[in-house]
Amino acid sequence: MLEMTPHSLMQKSACAPSWLGLRRWFCVGYAVLVRLVTFDSWLDAQEASPNLHTRTSGFITRGWDAEDGLPHNAVNKVIRDRHGFLWVATQLGLARFDGRQFVTYRVPDDFTLGGYNIRALALEDDHTLLMLTGGDKLVRLRDGVFELHPANGKMEGSRMRELAVDENGDIWIGTETSKCLRWNGNELQTFGAAEGVNARGASFTFANGQQKRLWVAGGDFLGWHDEEGLHEYAHKTGNSFYVAPARSGGVWVAAREHLAKIENNRWRIVYSETDWPARRLGIQDIFEADDGALWIATKRDGVFRLVDGVLTHVPMPQERAMSITDDIDGNVWLGMHGGGLVRAKPQRHVLLNTAAGLPSDVSSSVCEDGNGALWCANQSGGLVRMKNGNISIATMAAAESIPYISSVCADKHGRIWAGSVSGLYWTTVKGNGPHDGGGERWLLQHYAGLGKVNVQSLFCASNGDLWVSWGGRHLGVLRAGKMHEFTQTDGFHGERVMGIAERKNGEIWIGIVRDTLLRFDQNTGKFEQHPLHDSTRFNRIHSLFVDSEDRLWIGTIQGLLLWRGNESRLFTQADGLPDETINQVVEDDYRRLWVNSRRGIFHASTKQLLAVADTPGKKVSAILLGHDENLDGISGLLGSQPMSCKTRDGRVWFITYRGVIGFDPPDSREARKPLPVYIDAIAANGRAPIIPAPGAETRIPSGAIPLEIRFTALNFSTPERTQIWRMLEGYDPEWIDAGGERKAIYPRLPPGRYVFRVQAGDSDSGILTQSEASLIIIVAAAWWQTWWARTFALLVFATIVAWCARRMSFRILKRRLRRLEHEHALDRERTRIAHDLHDDLGGHTTQISFVANRLLRQSPTLAQQELLTRLTSLAHQLVEDLHRIIWTVDPQNNSWEDLATYIARYAQRRLAGTGIACIVEGIENIPDLPLTPEVQHHLLAVTKEALNNMQKHSHADRVTIRLSANEGLFRMSINDNGQGFDVAAAVGEDDGNGLRNMHTRMKEIGANIKIESSPGAGAQISVELPFRRDHPPLSQHQ
């Protein structure tokens, strides 16, 4: 609370011997006393905080009305749908709001015979909006199309007024006849006096609660509805009930006498003080925000907010709010009766001027002392101290008038230094004891070592030195109680000092009015001149600032300068800065530079500034505070150093023409959620727009021009900072900045498939592509562009080409036919030979074997028995070879599948009775592809040779044949579990009919063969070749 004592006022009166002094005392004292109540009220509107300058709570209100596109300034209801859009029901129609613009939805005239007034709104499901019109109709809006609800036939003349939908999808309607209606999709149920419902002229309210109960309040009735019906709540107290949903799942109940909450079927009174607004005129709406604060709109007394049992009035442009909701950013929106749509956004700044209790609006300097108190050079108001909710004005120790204070600085020794037009003054941080009226007092004392001069700038260095500039051309340093003035001998040429800064190594830098920096050499005690870079010559310096990374930033009349010696970088509007006249610079805790300029206050990321400095053509995303922060027209003041500061609580402070302003910088680590972005509709030829279904393709007929695509992004906190980029893939070569437009028009698109993409972001976040929406568009072709038209043209062309080539192709076909006839004749001959071999030679061979066996049974001599046995064996072998030859010659056995089957049958027949088990695997994997006789013959020969060798030499008891087909290759492996052999030695000893013969055969058909064995480890023969002979021959493996 503001503390002004009679003692301090008496001191002021004692120091006013002249009329000028009396008038000055009167103005200051009157201003302070008058602002006492004002500041006290301002404090009461804030939440508790230990320091005055941390009080940035409260709300900034901004309104939208008919001039902004709202159908009517009288708003009846505001709700939020699942996408985040706000739907606003007014007395002249319905509108949807995305934070920046309104889209009006015109209700068909047939549904609005009683006028265009939309009395109530409710969400039936995620895609359907319900409304009550002035024509007493229940209307449904789904996918942009209005239709009468089926329940209208059962509700004629009901005089509907309130509307709600419960969790089961049932529709509830309050009527002016003191009855409420329930439509469950099939039938209408009426609740009236028989059920205890009697609103007696009051309105009905509905709220979904726990256990799928719908709570109903009207007049003195309070109850709930469930599967068993409507029940009156027996534990209620009070009269004239109003219900609203609670975030916890319970319900709020506002009665005329108090506010209660029902949770888990328990009644609890929350607020019952005498200032409860329902005691007077009643409640219009209740809404619980995400932070747990309860917003209460009354019928005549304005809007209130209940937090932790404390009820406060929230000032609004108009006192009567009809409806309350919130947006996806947590802002609260109120529909006003005649005041349009109002947003209440949490305030993140505080303005210190006469409205806050300061004697004068304008301060020219600001700083913080070691105890956390804020000091302002309040010019004619004197030196002002603020801490713990108290404002104190330093007075003079002697009988003198309060000087005009232009600058203030706190040193490390606990002194507050104040510059004035009449010299240098000081006081202590701790104060000078209590004054007569109680409370601490601060006495200003004049520093006599400087005299009566006009002190313009002060800078308190880290080592305790006080740097002072005065008289427009003097500079000195106060060290150990002695003032040393610099002269030309020290390198200072008597020019106006505009800024002083200290780097981490203790170096002092001075900015003088012309385009030159001075660096103070601590060893020599002299200044070194550093002219600004050539591109910034003739640039007036306004201020200096050293950031947390020891970079020197210079505010100039031509932009913001990053000092790098000869490589300095000047940032201008071409780099994205909102203004080039830079008065003050300060850094927050999140590495952002806050800049006070002629156009206002803006901030930008230091990281981004450095990136732009090293990347030509790139721009800074600087955020200019203005309309959304209720800071329109605020302009930076070029005062006396220090003109800005960052206090220990993280706030940044500036001097402006409207007062000292402090900001609570948002934590950059708490990034905002991506902005929801939507593709609203697509229209062509001026026809009714089509609302695209999510994920579906949208087809556009041929010749539909121009094509118009509407899109939007939701940004309710900072709509002016929304940035949208769009691109039609397949048409636009790159992303296009949509600016303020929310539609794209394409005059003529060729047939084809396109993807329309939209990206949106808030420049406040520094990321422009946070979210995206896309839509697939198929543009149909004209008849001459269709596939069948092009196919017909191609056929005509092909016919002409065929006619021209007919004679040439006829000769080619005749030659091919003769070759096929020749091949067919060869096949017939092969078939005849196979039959002859089988019938003649096969029969004779079988007869030989039969005769030999018969002779063996007649008990021949031993010599004859040996010859007959050999003859029988040769006959059997000859029969097998003959079968193989006949099978090979037969043209019907010309596929790989036939070959695999024959190999299996041949191997099992060959090894039958030898004591060697034969296992064949993979026959079913071999495809039915054509096979040449040459390949067939050589593969069978290799198989025969392998089995013969294994039978004679391996002493094995098992042979396994594996067949496979993979990646166009035929693979066969034959392996035994016999005694094995040395492959190299065996090949060297071969007589040409063994292993080398296998290699030769496989090489002729372009196959790989691999023989692997070692003594005692069995043997394996692997063959690999392509199914088709058009493959190049494979490399040979030994």
Residue found under tokens 């079927």: 265
Rg, C-alpha atoms of the chain: 49
Domain spanning 488-661: which CATH class is it, in words?
Answer: mainly beta
Positive or negative, the CA dihedral 64, 65, 69, 71 is positive
**What's the predicted TM-score (pTM) here?**
0.68
Mean pLDDT within 102-116: 86
Look at residue 13 in the predicted model and tell me its pLDDT: 32
Contact 264, 250 (CB under 8 A): yes
Q: Is 759 helix (H, G, I), strand (E, B) or coil?
A: strand
Q: How far apart are CA 773 and CA 757, in angstroms?
A: 6
Residue 19's contacts (CB-CB under 8 Å, 6 or more residues apart) are none
What digits encode the pLDDT tens for the residues 846-904?
667 666 676 767 766 777 667 767 777 676 667 666 666 666 666 667 788 888 888 88
Q: How far apart are CA 6 and CA 128, in angstroms?
A: 67
Q: Give the β-pairing of 340-346 and 171-175.
A: unpaired
pLDDT at 41 over 60: no
Across 397-411, 716-730, 824-838, least confident range: 824-838
Positive or negative, the CA dihedral 108, 111, 117, 118 is negative
What digits encode the pLDDT tens for the residues 684-702?
876 777 888 777 788 888 7
Across 31-40, 421-430, 706-715, 717-726, least confident range: 31-40
Res. 180 pLDDT band, cuts 50 70 90: very high
Give residue limits of the domains in the chain: 1-56+350-485, 488-661, 677-778, 786-892, 894-1038
What digits encode the pLDDT tens for the residues 542-587?
999 999 999 999 999 999 999 988 888 999 999 999 999 999 999 9
pLDDT at 47 over 80: no
Average pLDDT, the chain: 83
142 phi and psi angles, rounded to 5 deg = -135, 120
What digits encode the pLDDT tens for the residues 210-233?
989 999 999 889 999 999 999 999
pLDDT at 668 over 80: no
1025 phi and psi angles, rounded to 5 deg = -155, 155
Look at residue 1014 in the predicted model and tell me its pLDDT: 86
Look at residue 39 in the predicted model and tell me its pLDDT: 35
Q: Please give the distance of CA 21 from its chain centroid, rounded to a whole number.
A: 62
Contact 975, 1020 (CB under 8 A): yes
Q: How far is CA 548 from CA 117, 181, 504, 520, 820, in A?
A: 58, 66, 9, 20, 92
Positive or negative, the CA dihedral 188, 193, 196, 199 is positive
Q: Give the β-pairing of 917-921 and 958-966.
A: parallel
pLDDT at 938 over 90: no
> For 677-778, CATH number?
2.60.40.10
Look at residue 490 in the predicted model and tell me its pLDDT: 94
Mean pLDDT within 44-48: 33
Look at residue 850 in the predicted model and tell me its pLDDT: 67
Across 4-18, 56-70, 397-411, 769-783, least confident range: 4-18
Q: Is 367 exposed, middle or buried (0-12, 13-18, 19+ CB in 10 A)?
A: buried
Taking alpha carbons only, the member of 770, 714, 701, 718 closest to residue 742 is: 714
Contact 951, 916 (CB under 8 A): yes
Contact 278, 254 (CB under 8 A): yes
pLDDT at 348 over 90: no
Residue 530's contacts (CB-CB under 8 Å, 6 or more residues apart) are 516, 517, 518, 519, 565
Contact 94, 131 (CB under 8 A): yes
Q: Max Cα separation, the chain?
A: 168
Is CATH 3.30.565.10 what the domain over 894-1038 is classified as, yes or no? yes
Look at residue 786 in the predicted model and tell me its pLDDT: 73
Q: How far is CA 490 from CA 487, 496, 521, 759, in A?
A: 5, 16, 10, 59
How many Å from the N-terminal Cα to the C-terminal Cα in the chain? 103
Look at residue 770 in the predicted model and tell me its pLDDT: 62
Across 237-241, 607-611, 824-828, least confident range: 824-828
What digits encode the pLDDT tens for the residues 984-1032?
777 766 554 578 888 888 888 889 999 998 888 889 999 999 987 654 4
Q: How far apart are CA 426 and CA 413, in angstroms?
A: 12
Res. 672 pLDDT band, cuts 50 70 90: low
What digits encode the pLDDT tens for the residues 467-481?
999 998 999 999 988
More confident residue, 834 or 609: 609
More confident residue, 697 or 11: 697
What digits encode the pLDDT tens for the residues 228-242?
999 999 988 988 899
Q: In this structure, which amino acid lies at residue 194?
A: A
Q: Is 907 helix (H, G, I), strand (E, B) or coil?
A: helix
Res. 43 pLDDT band, cuts 50 70 90: very low
Structure tokens at 270: 């929350």
